[in-house]
Each structure stands twice: as C-alpha cells, then as structure tokens.
Amino acid sequence: MAKRNMNYNNVVFEGYFPSMMEKLGADGFMNELCKGFRMPMDFEKRVITLESLKKNSAVLGLQGVSDDELLCMLKEGDLDGDGCLNQMEFCVLMFRLSPDLMNRATMSFEFHHH
C-alpha cells in the first residue's frame, strides 16, 4: 500500500488510488477507505491514535517506523488538533497523499459544475 521514503522519513503513496476509483466506483472506493480507517482505529475511541497506530504498525507495513514518525503522520492529517484522526480526517489525508486522485476529483468537479 505504501512505501517508506528514507530521505524524508515519510510515507509516499503509490498512484494506485485512481485505478481503484475507476475499478470500484466512488461508493466502492469510499467503502475501501473506510475499511482502511478501521484497521488502525482504536475501537473504543473510534479514532486513530498514536497507540493504535503503533499497535497495528506491522499490519500496515510500518514496522520499524519510530514513534516520532508515526506522530508526524498523525499530525499531517489532524485537522482539528485533537492529536488523533477521525474517519473524515483520514479520508481527507488519503486524498491529499494521492495527487493523481486529487487531480481527477478536481477535473470531475469542474466538468460537472460548468
């Protein structure tokens, strides 16, 4: 799903989201994003926390990533400043990390609103 970029200590998403969107359709793609959110989610708090991210790091392909790097990932998507990611913040982050998907969404929006 993701690969580590050792030079910048961040996770870089491959450009496969657009092909998933085409294959699954918008509803199917959003359903997959929701499944992706639930994997590292703290089920009691219903959000992704640093602890839940650390607990699930191996399943996510993030084993060996430091706590500071995981915290930076959380901060990248934490729009309300509460230190964790809710489902909406997670989905927004996934779109932001996939420039091809953002470009297609923008083009589709412009096409349908002109």
Highest mean pLDDT, choosing among 8-12, 85-89, 103-107: 85-89
Whether the pLDDT of residue 105 is over 70: the answer is no
Domains within the chain, CATH numbers bracketed? 2-107 (1.10.238.10)
For the stretch 28-66, pLDDT in tens is 888 888 888 999 999 999 999 999 999 998 888 888 899
From the list 33, 81, 36, 74, the residue with the least C-alpha distance to 54 is 74
- Under the banding of pLDDT at 50, 70 and 90, the label for residue 23 is confident
Q: Residue 42 forms beta bridges with which residues?
A: 47
Q: How far is CA 52 from the centre of its chain?
A: 15
Answering whether pTM is above 0.75, one says no
